[in-house]
Structure 1
């Protein structure tokens, strides 16, 4: 018997194929039906609503909305897929992963910080070049509120791997830094002196190779912004609809063995990140990390604690 349904959508056929392979390999719960659909948000919102066939209990969009020219229009469109008590979760923002001490002994101090700054400049250029690009001069919780959701809040999770890193984490740091430097190299946004320093730091034959350091670390913050479509219109006299806590009710191991009450089958919609060509491997990882939770109440509950 099927108790829930997940509709995963993506505009790229390549990413959809990778997601399909990942689901075939990893998804084993017969009570939850997973469907894939090629959809471009917000242009295809109406067809997605038809595909769903009913309002969604949860819409999860991970690193996707910032690839849409009009981000507010996209958030509003996603909110329009919800039923009363449904939740929209946007994984956007946070803090980029850091790996190095401020001074690595090669080049000017602050090398990794300048790499982050170059990526920010690239991001601004990418946003400006999107079709129908419009600035959104406010934060994600305000975008959720303007889409008619209340309450809204943000849950941020600190991820840390302190030094000394194990071989797996050290390898991931080296791959991540090499990818980012290689990606930004042709943009002209990284100074020549910094590129020369990175070339030495990432060269296993160089005495300054990062793979020999014992002080590498992994530190980042992931933020998810939540909004609820309330069954009761918000009180306009309230100064804020923000709840002090965040998160959603997830399926725990003990819940997985029980059956939901009759008529309570849940519907989810997952919006994947729009990754550049050649990033199918990353999209498969994202599909695993963004496996949806579930909301069990038909009315808009207070957002539970993390």
Structure 2
């Protein structure tokens, strides 16, 4: 379970979103049934768990864009990554951009608590058109797991690129590897459960993408797409989150949430035996479940694609 994602995406239980969404949650019309404010605690918890990975990613981006004046977090959610970007770039003003007012309120509160409020702002708009409401071109735009919620991803990238200052950088977090929480053989059910969850997740994600209003099929060649919209020097790098067993309670809670989301969202894509195994894993009273297992770990890889104007 787990690809695309900075650690959070409620409608992507695992692979392309949920696992990585540290925040990336700009949502289009297809996702207005989701109450992002109710999900704020989950989003913050996941983003904080992924902070070591995101800190490494931000430091790498800083080698390519060392002193940006304006940094924009596209689809910021509750602002965990926005604040991390503000810490990475102490000379920058940071704007958290999202479609959810309650999540942006969380972002402002977090920035205030971290002493960042004097150079931290928010903008409540929907992507991709909302980038036109920025007062100034951005020196760095960060879009973590927000792009795949937009129907026409190429057009969205073009809109982002247009709001970059000359020499500015666009960083897109999409892709990576499926996350892992357990060994191949966990002693219950058929071995290979997580691989089958991955396959179910891929089918689910394909259907989700097709259902987004204005959805345009696109080859997921992110450096190629960045180049196609007129940016240059496109490249990618992947960063690892490695939390070995035995995990702390925050990592265990995250693993539980991922299996819960898989159980709820992928029920139509998994067979009865696998659903039964997932139910056992989620049973707080079952010693073979994820609440008690000593072999539980979190291993996730997220890929950052960058290019400059």
What is the TM-score with the length of structure 1 in the denominator? 0.67
Q: State the distance in 1 between where 2:254 and 2:215 align.
A: 34
Q: State the distance in 1 between where 2:277 and 2:162 align.
A: 49
Residue in 1 that maps onto 2:130: 44
Residue in 1 that maps onto 2:244: 162
Specify the SS of the correspondent of 1:7: strand
Query: 1:213 aligned to 270, 290, 293, which one?
Result: 293
| Cα shift at 1:125 | 1.0
Residue in 1 that maps onto 2:266: 184
1:50-199 equivalences in 2 (<5 Å):
51-52=134-135, 54-185=136-267, 188-199=268-279
Checking the alignment, whether the CA contact within 8 Å between 2:177 and 2:301 is kept in structure 1 is yes
Q: State the distance in 2 between where 1:121 and 1:222 align.
A: 20
| Larger RCO, structures 1/2 (Cα 8 Å, 6+ apart) | 1
Specify the SS of the correspondent of 2:93: strand
| Cα shift at 1:75 | 0.7
Which segments of structure 1 move beyond 6 Å, counting only runs of 4 or more? none
| Cα shift at 1:133 | 0.4
Once the two structures are superposed, residues 81-126 of structure 1 have per-residue CA deviations (whole angstroms, 9 ceiling, x without a partner) of 1111100001111123211111112222111111122222111111
Q: State the distance in 2 between where 1:98 and 1:104 align.
A: 12
Q: State the distance in 2 between where 1:121 and 1:20 align.
A: 37
Residue in 2 that maps onto 1:13: 101
Checking the alignment, whether the CA contact within 8 Å between 2:237 and 2:303 is kept in structure 1 is yes
Structure with the largest fraction of helix: 2
Q: State the distance in 2 between where 1:41 and 1:165 align.
A: 36
Q: State the distance in 1 between where 2:220 and 2:253 align.
A: 37
- The verdict on how the C-alpha distance between 1:169 and 1:43 changes in structure 2, with shifts beyond 3 A counting, is closer
What is the TM-score with the length of structure 2 in the denominator? 0.66
For structure 2, which runs of at least 5 residues remain unmatched after alignment? 1-89
Q: State the distance in 1 between where 2:224 and 2:298 align.
A: 30
- The verdict on how the C-alpha distance between 1:3 and 1:173 changes in structure 2, with shifts beyond 3 A counting, is closer
Once the two structures are superposed, residues 241-268 of structure 1 have per-residue CA deviations (whole angstroms, 9 ceiling, x without a partner) of xxxxxxxxxxxxxxxxxxxxxxxxxxxx
Q: Which structure has the larger Rg?
A: 1
For structure 1, which runs of at least 5 residues remain unmatched after alignment? 230-306
1:282-293 equivalences in 2 (<5 Å):
none
Task: Provide the aligned length of Structure 1 versus Structure 2.
Answer: 220
- Asked if residue 35 in structure 1 is aligned to residue 124 in structure 2, the reply is no
Residue in 1 that maps onto 2:35: none
How large is the Cα RMSD of the aligned pairs?
A: 2.0
Q: State the distance in 1 between where 2:124 and 2:186 align.
A: 45
Residue in 1 that maps onto 2:5: none
- The verdict on how the C-alpha distance between 1:164 and 1:75 changes in structure 2, with shifts beyond 3 A counting, is same
